[in-house]
Amino acid sequence: MSKKLRLGVNIDHVATIRNARGGAHPDPIRAAQIAAAAGADGITAHLREDRRHISDEDIDRLMDTLSLPLNLEMAATPEMLEIALRHKPHAACIVPERREERTTEGGLDAVRGRETLRPLVGALTESGVRVSLFVEPDPLQLDAAKAIGAPVVELHTGAYCDAGPQRRAQELQRVVAAAAHAEAIGLECHAGHGLAYDTVGPVAAIATIVELNIGHFLIGEAIFVGLDDSIRRMRALMDGARRR
């Protein structure tokens, strides 16, 4: 039987729009409340080193007011570790971060980063935070995540979503194979990045993936149909693909 599929709504880009004018509107916390009412199972927010979207105050307010579990995306730095240990969100997803990138452009290199990641994952796990590593759908990365002690991996679906029609099936196959490998070695499997209405179905249909984290498309689509509608439609597409 396939496992329940959770939807984590990433609210970063509500903060991007707010920050364009430097005021308080639109408020990402209000977006989180709408997401909760529309069927999200969790809220994801990436506190970047340069604070280009989510701010420290947003994290304070999310921790104080949110009814859903918070998944804090964070780089593997001492500053972020201190913040995560202070707040103890439900989950933390460790992502690579480069200042000059527009978005998280690839997965973590858990193979080469083993020694840096191990103590960080250990400290978070000890404080009760469920840690995931955001990695490419590559069995070597999953083996490294397991060796480091992370209980969860989030598979980067960017290459699959960005692929043209010629490569898409091949990129999807990498995600399918990685999800099977995660299951075989005892890792909980999540996925995300770049997912939209036309790409979510085949990923949602992978029975061992239990969480999708989706942001940019939902917030962009909300401009046209409203956030409640964009989330409900995504939820319906996920649930429909899962049932099939």
Q: Which is nearer to ligand PXP, 134 or 160 (CB)?
A: 134
Could you say whether residue 233 binds ligand PXP (CB under 6 A)? no
Q: Which of 13, 53, 73, 154 is an active site residue? A: 73
Nearest CA among 136, 133, 119, 146 for reference residue 71: 133
Distance CA(19)–CA(222), nearest Å, equals 18
Q: How many angstroms separate the CA atoms of 43 and 213, rounded? A: 9
What gap in Å lies between CA 29 and CA 18, rounded to an integer?
12
Instruction: Check 46, 156, 181, 190 and give the catalytic one.
Output: 46
Q: Which of residues 1 and 187 has its CB atom nearest to ligand PXP in the complex?
A: 187
Give the span between the Cα atoms of 86 and 158, in whole angstroms. Answer: 31
Please pick, from the candidates 11, 14, 54, 134, the single residue that binds ligand PXP as defined by CB under 6 A: 134
Query: Does 58 help bind ligand PXP (rule: CB under 6 A)?
Result: no
List 5, 6, 10, 43, residue binding ligand PXP (CB under 6 A): 10
From the candidates 13, 156, 181, 193, give the one annotated as an active-site residue: 193
Considering the complex, state which of residue 73 and residue 176 has its C-beta at the smaller distance from ligand PXP. Answer: 73
Spatial distance between the Cα atoms of 195 and 164, rounded to a whole number of angstroms: 14
The residue type of 158 is G
Binding-residue pattern over the window 152 to 171 for ligand PXP, x denoting contact by CB under 6 A: --x-----------------
Q: How far apart are the first and last CA of the chain?
A: 12
Q: Which residues pair with 161 in a beta bridge?
A: none
Residues that bind ligand PXP (CB under 6 A): 10, 12, 46, 73, 93, 95, 103-104, 134, 154, 192-195, 213-217
